[in-house]
Amino acid sequence: MTGNCGTTQWMAPEVLAAEKYTEKADVFSYGVVVWETVTRQCPYEGLTQIQAALGVLNNNLRPTVPENCPPLFKKLMTLCWVSSPEERPSFEEVLEILNSSTDGSLPPQLERRPSDSHVR
């Protein structure tokens, strides 16, 4: 993959840590974009880029999902923000999630995935 580029608040932990990364880093960033779409806010407002980066790297910091967030989007963000890139969905799976239903249910293979406890 290319060198470390992008805007800190949207970067996956592995990118912030200057580790080797895959397209799963883009899945993480997509989760932040979904959050922006739902909230119409910038992620980590009130924090500097360094504070946000250190929070994501060291404290599993993620944007706070609002209580009124549709369940499908909350689950999508949760899956995209999993710390381990291998456990994040692929973009093909993201499309499956988005096309799955209007009732917020997920395809069975994604329902079994673990989620980090960072979504408040």
51-71 residue pLDDT tens: 999 999 999 999 999 999 999
* pTM for this prediction: 0.80
pLDDT tens-digit series, residues 12-24: 999 999 999 999 9
Given a cut of 80, whether residue 3 has pLDDT beyond it is no
Convert the pLDDT of each residue in 85-104 to its tens digit.
Answer: 999 999 999 998 888 765 65
pLDDT for 4 beyond 80:
no
Query: What is the predicted pLDDT for the residue at 35?
Result: 97
Burial of 39 (0-12, 13-18, 19+ CB in 10 A): middle
**% pLDDT > 70, the chain:** 78
- Phi, psi (degrees; rounded to nearest 5) at 36: -60, -40
Query: Going from the N-terminus, what domains does the chain have, and what CATH number goes with each?
Result: 8-111 (1.10.510.10)
> Given this model, what pLDDT does residue 100 score?
78
Q: Please, what is the average pLDDT of the chain?
A: 87
Residue 6 has pLDDT above 90, yes or no: no
CA distances from 66 to 7, 91, 105, 112 (A): 23, 24, 19, 23
Q: Rounded mean pLDDT of 5-15?
A: 87
Closest to 107 (Cα-Cα) out of 87, 86, 92? 92
